[in-house]
Structure 1
Amino acid sequence: MGLLRNRGAQRRLRIAAGCLMAGLVALAPLEAGGTQPERASYGIWTNPQRSVRVKVHPCAPAMCGTVVWANDKAQADARKGGTEQLVGAQLFSGFVREDETTWRGKVFVPDLRKTFSGTITTVDERTMRATGCLLGRVGCKSQVWTRMD
């Protein structure tokens, strides 16, 4: 765990986890049939810091999310990691429903230019808890995201 003792490494882990959570935010429950997302699930979601907004949209047969707005700091952090354009980046793809409240898919972390697995749990129609682990079960973070629209 020497990596986590280094302040710079801790900061990078927090930034990467924040971007991972951004990718997870835009998911919402499926209809009872489990094959099509509800129209009401589509929309724009934001992280607790309100520094990133992600729009959920269909990408058959799953759901994806694209950054539609990011503040200057979030954009600068992404550029430091090698992602020149954060707005317009597809942060998550292939998210499919695992059970009544849980989704699983792939998340692109712009700060690291890597893709990881992630999960979300719906709380209600306006909130969800996103959890991601950068390496196996190490460096896990959870955040509660809210619907903007």
Structure 2
Amino acid sequence: MAGNPVGRTVSIALALLCVGAAPRTGPSFGIWSNPKGSVHVRAEPCGRNMCGVVVWASDKAKADAARGGTDPLVGTTLFRDFTPAGRNRWRGKVFVPDIGKTFSGTVTLLDPDRLEGEGCLLGGIGCKSQIWTRVTP
């Protein structure tokens, strides 16, 4: 998946799991880690929607993003305008920094400490999902 733009898209798109189930407060807000532990995203309100901002990234993730034209990675809003799409589910746009493109994605809160994110290319093609975990202080 690492050398494949679709795979990278899905990996980052799944980072969208940082968004969850409540419009202003709730269990989805906080910091979430991707499965590899290389990116941490803070889910937070952005107007009436929810967004996800990178608050920490490994050196490799930073280098990959820089090669794709996003530098710095930390502070970048990856998840934009996520709106409710059912119980414990959100839909929005995901910016993939290592390829500089934006795709559609969904996030589903599985339980207080796990989110499943799914990212797809246009028309629902090439979808992938990942489970992200809450980062505890």
Same fold by TM-score greater than 0.5: yes
* Higher-Rg member (1/2): 1
Asked if the contact 2:20/2:89 (under 8 Å) is kept, the reply is no
Provide the aligned length of Structure 1 versus Structure 2: 136
Asked if the contact 1:15/1:77 (under 8 Å) is kept, the reply is no
- TM-score by length of structure 2 reads 0.90
Aligned counterpart in structure 2 of residue 12 of structure 1, from 2, 5, 24: 5
Deviation by residue 1:44-75 (Cα, 9 ceiling, x = unmatched): 00011001000011111101110000101111
- 5 Å-filtered alignment, 1:132-143, equals 132-143=119-130
Cα displacement (A) at 1:120: 1.1
- 5 Å-filtered alignment, 1:29-44, equals 29-30=21-22, 36-44=23-31
- TM-score by length of structure 1 reads 0.84
CA gap 1:40/1:99 in 2 versus in 1, 3 angstroms: closer
Report percent identity of matched pairs.
48
Cα displacement (A) at 1:28: 1.8
Cα displacement (A) at 1:39: 4.3
Structure 1 vs Structure 2 CA RMSD: 1.8
Q: Which blocks of at least 5 consecutive residues in structure 1 are unaligned? A: 1-6, 31-35
Displaced runs of 4 or more, over 4 A: none
Asked if the contact 1:119/1:130 (under 8 Å) is kept, the reply is yes
CA distance in structure 1 between the aligned counterparts of 2:5 and 2:103, rounded to whole angstroms: 15
Residue number in structure 2 paired with 1:47? 34
Aligned counterpart in structure 2 of residue 104 of structure 1, from 91, 94, 110: 91
- 5 Å-filtered alignment, 1:44-123, equals 44-123=31-110
Bigger RCO (CA 8 Å, 6+ sep): 2
Residue number in structure 2 paired with 1:4? none
Q: Which blocks of at least 5 consecutive residues in structure 2 are unaligned? A: none
Cα displacement (A) at 1:41: 2.9
